[in-house]
Amino acid sequence: MTSPTPAPSATPGTPRARATIADVAAEAGVSKATVSRYFNHRERLLSPDIAARVEAAIAKLAYVPSPMAQALSHGRSRLIGLVVADITNPYSVAVLRGAEKACQEAGYLVMLFNLGNDRERERAAIDALASYQVDGFILNTLGQGEGLADVNTLHGKPAVLVDRRHAGLAADFVALDNEAAMRETCAHLVEQGWQSLLYVTQPLQGVSSRLERTAAFRACIAAQGPKVRGEVLEIDAQQGEDALARALAEFREREGSKVRCAVVAGNSVVTLRVAAAVARLQWTFGQELGFVGFDDPEWAPLIRPGLSTVAQPTDAIGQRAAQCLLERIGGLQGAVRENLLPGTLIVRGSSLGV
């Protein structure tokens, strides 16, 4: 009680500092090294009785090693740096969720850096994360070769790319199998009798997922032969929703009233805007316009007659990304791996034939 040294007594109420390895060593009557070994080389080189004493001391003091100190000493921090292009995007969040979960389960914590779609900050993000000695990166960001010029940028840490590839960066990659999903989507629409397809996408801007989906769409159209027509429309955030409405109206007029027209939306952002435009036009999905959208927002069933969508296995993507990264952190060598996960076409009313 009157001891001048802050003895780690079990005084509740006193928010005493965390026990350190030295406290445990003293409590168990062994050296710090022994306590350290208890954690790192347990069975291999520790006698049972000593191990038991250490274990008891650890339990008594509720000792938990400091990851910061471990990071300083040993290099590893059990920290994963997660850079996301836009945390406003539900897709990113869904992936983040899966990744964070997998990391948590593996005893890693996630440090988050949101770019807010600002490419300039990408380099800063990685540097900031690296300064905390993260063991690796999960990157859902960019398209161009701007920030991530080369592996050097990553400070020698492993990384996994999610959803968006990067030319200069040889890293494991996890994403939706865009080509297969697009094939299934187009096949379904054609089968249901839609004859002219309009693929609406956000500006390509070198974003690999957008490029791939667009290319896959064009390939599908080409494969169908002359009986099916296809167009691509890029929209950007600037133009209002009536600009899109006009574009859709023109599309239908161009094709003529005999031709059944459908839209394929490149992601949930586009889906929202198309739905708004269609509402403004007073059209009904499945009638004036067929529809399938990539991503499956929770409100898709609410827009009559229900929006058909391609659901991404976001949780699996996130978990797979984390798993890939953890394997690399664990020392796995070898060629870059490519994980293309299958989407699920959810057919609701908007894509059905009349």
Query: Under the criterion CB under 7 A, does residue 37 sit at the interface with DNA?
Result: yes
Binding of DNA at residue 16 (CB under 7 A)?
Answer: no
Residue from 6, 10, 16, 33 touching DNA (CB under 7 A): that is: 33
Report the residue number, 51 or 215, with the smaller CB distance to DNA.
51
Residue from 6, 7, 10, 18 in contact with a second copy (CB under 8 A): 18
Cβ proximity of 189 and 292 under 8 Å: yes
Q: Tell me the residue length of the chain.
A: 354
Contact of residue 223 among DNA, a second copy, none (CB under 5-8 Å per partner type): none
Give the Cα separation of 20 and 14 in Å (integer).
17
CB 205 within 8 A of CB 271: no
Choose, by CB under 7 A, the member of 10, 59, 69, 167 that binds DNA.
69
Pick the piece of the chain touching DNA (CB under 7 A) from 58-66, 107-115, 238-246, 278-286: 58-66
Residue ranges in 139-158 that form contacts with a second copy under rule CB under 8 A: 151-152, 155-156
Distance CA 321, CA 327 (A): 10
Which one among 159, 161, 200, 303 touches a second copy, defined by CB under 8 A?
A: 303
Residue entry with tokens 């807010």: 116
Identify any residues that bridge with 162 across adjacent strands, giving them in sequence order. 174
CB of 4 to DNA, least distance (A): 14
Toward DNA, which CB reaches closer, 36 or 209? 36
Q: Which amino acid is at 227?
A: K
Three-class DSSP category at 137? strand
Q: Which two tokens stand for residue 18?
A: 């965390």
Among 200, 221, 275, 317, binds a second copy (CB under 8 A): 275
- Note whether 260 and 251 are within 8 A (CB): no
Query: In terms of DSSP H, where are the helices of the chain?
Result: 21-28, 32-40, 48-61, 67-74, 90-105, 121-131, 178-191, 208-224, 241-255, 268-280, 314-329
Rg of the chain over Cα atoms, rounded to whole angstroms, equals 27
Using the rule CB under 8 A, is 22 a contact of a second copy? no
End-to-end CA distance of the chain: 84
- Quick check: 131 binds a second copy (CB under 8 A)? yes
Tell the residue number behind the tokens 């070769």, with chain if given: 145
Q: Are 199 and 232 in contact (CB under 8 A)?
A: yes
Provide the minimum distance between the beta carbon of 310 and DNA in the complex, in angstroms, as a whole number.
Answer: 45
Q: State yes or no: residue 5 binds DNA (CB under 7 A).
A: no
- Is residue 114 part of the contact set for a second copy (CB under 8 A)? yes
Query: Is residue 243 a contact point for a second copy (CB under 8 A)?
Result: no
Measured from the CB of residue 78, what is the shortest distance to a second copy in angstroms? 9
Residue of the chain from 100, 184, 212, 296 that contacts a second copy (CB under 8 A): 100
Question: In the complex with a second copy, which residue's Cβ is closer, 183 or 280?
Answer: 280
Which has the closest alpha carbon to 243: 213, 281, 206, 203? Answer: 281
Number of residues that bind DNA (CB under 7 A): 30
Contacted entry of a second copy, DNA, none for residue 246, CB cut-off 5 to 8 Å set by kind: none
> Which two tokens mark 45?
């080189």
What's the token pair of residue 44?
């291999």
Amino acid making up residue 80:
I
Does 64 participate in binding DNA (rule CB under 7 A)?
A: yes
Residue with token string 């076409």: 345
**Binding region for DNA (CB under 7 A):** 17-18, 20-22, 29-34, 36-37, 39-40, 45-47, 49-51, 63-66, 69-70, 72-74
Footprint of a second copy on this chain (CB under 8 A)?
Answer: 12-13, 15, 18, 64-69, 71-72, 77, 79, 82, 87-88, 90, 93-94, 96-97, 100-101, 104, 109-114, 116, 127-133, 151-152, 155-156, 272, 275-276, 279, 297-299, 301-304
